[in-house]
């Protein structure tokens, strides 16, 4: 009972908690039914909002409330303006402002994946070289730069828009400058008939060069060639001088 009977008015009845009116009247309600129970995997969709002591139908996604309902009229709704959106049934009088991917602290981290509509917000995604650390319905709220692998490490797993890069240390006998997708084995100088000049580390390759014996042979050969040229030049010069003296006498 909502209100008792008086000499001037009848008793006013209202549904109990868990029931809803199916036959309203001047005296409140003539008949009521129990609220339906949702099945597993379903949820209760709220299609009304409360204003004062009455419930009004919510406006559809993409719109907002202009005026609340009355006992004679339903809720009056207006479409969201450009640059605003409403992504669910609502009792709000204003739509949400669309997000801008290059605003404020986001301006170096995001680009726009999909633009804002009257029923959905702008979806932002991390720029190349960044990954999302705070995913949301709007794509991403915060991002960080991919980890840079150090010399002596390889990029065992490249970063994506949702995951960071994974670095792995190189084992003995291999190296990486920090940009390789896998560690590379040190050059084996012996297989190239070269001499090891500087051993490789986890961040640098081995340095190879000619064997010292080969260098000695080359140096001797060059020296002998130069000496031979000098001797020949001296012989030719001496011969020319003798010929000139012979002609004078």
What is 30-77 written as a DSSP string? S-EEEPPPPPTT------EEEETTEEEEPBPTTEEEEE---SSS--EE
Convert 115-131 to b/e letters by CB count within 10 Å (16 or more is b). Answer: ebebebbbbbbbbeebb
Span 75-131, pLDDT tens digits: 999 999 999 999 999 999 999 999 888 754 545 678 888 999 999 999 988 999 999
Instruction: Check: CB of residue 152 under 8 Å from CB of residue 180.
Output: no
Query: What six digits make up the tokens of 199?
Result: 């051993």
Model confidence at 248, pLDDT cuts 50, 70, 90, reads: low
Q: Is 191 exposed, middle or buried (0-12, 13-18, 19+ CB in 10 A)?
A: exposed
- The mean pLDDT value of the chain amounts to 82
pLDDT at 226 over 90: no
Span 10-29, pLDDT tens digits: 777 777 765 666 677 666 67
Span 130-181, pLDDT tens digits: 999 988 877 888 889 999 999 999 999 999 999 999 999 999 999 999 999 9
Helix (H) or strand (E) holding 195: strand 195-198
- Architecture of domain 146-209 in this structure: Ribbon (2.10)
Helix (H) or strand (E) holding 215: helix 212-248
Beta bridge partners of 32: 21
pLDDT at 42 over 60: no
Domain extents in the chain:
22-96, 146-209
- Look at strands 76-79 and 63-67 and give their pairing: antiparallel
Q: What are phi and psi of 79, to 5 degrees?
A: -70, 150
- Choosing among 1.10.1510.10, 2.10.109.10, 3.20.20.120, 2.10.50.10, the CATH entry for 22-96 is 2.10.50.10
Check if 22-96 and 146-209 are the same fold: yes
**228 or 46, greater pLDDT:** 228
> What is the C-alpha separation between 201 and 178, in angstroms, rounded?
13
Q: Which of 148, 178, 177 is nearest to 164 (CA)?
A: 148
């Amino acid at each position: 009972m909502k209100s008792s009977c008086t000499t001037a008015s009848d008793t006013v009845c209202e549904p109990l908690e868990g029931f809803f009116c199916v036959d309203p009247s001047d005296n409140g309600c003539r008949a009521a039914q129990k609220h339906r129970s949702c099945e597993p995997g379903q949820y209760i969709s709220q299609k009304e909002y409360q204003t004062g002591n009455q419930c009004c139908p919510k406006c559809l996604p993409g719109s907002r409330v202009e005026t609340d309902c009355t006992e004679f009229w339903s809720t009056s709704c207006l479409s969201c303006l450009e640059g605003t959106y409403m992504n669910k049934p609502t009792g709000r009088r204003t739509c949400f402002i669309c997000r801008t991917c290059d605003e404020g602290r986001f301006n170096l981290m995001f680009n726009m994946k999909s633009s804002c509509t009257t029923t959905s917000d702008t979806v932002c995604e991390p720029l190349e070289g960044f990954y999302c650390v705070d995913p949301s319905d709007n794509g991403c709220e915060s991002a960080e730069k991919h980890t840079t692998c150090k010399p002596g490490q390889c990029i065992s797993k490249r970063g994506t828009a949702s995951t960071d890069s994974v670095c792995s240390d190189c084992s003995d006998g291999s190296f990486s400058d920090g940009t390789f997708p896998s560690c590379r084995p040190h050059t084996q100088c012996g297989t190239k008939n070269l001499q090891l000049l500087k051993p490789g580390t986890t961040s640098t390759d081995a340095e190879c060069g000619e064997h010292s014996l080969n260098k000695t042979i080359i140096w001797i050969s060059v020296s002998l060639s130069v000496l031979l040229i000098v001797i020949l030049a001296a012989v030719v010069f001496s011969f020319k001088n003798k010929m000139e003296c012979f002609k004078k006498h």
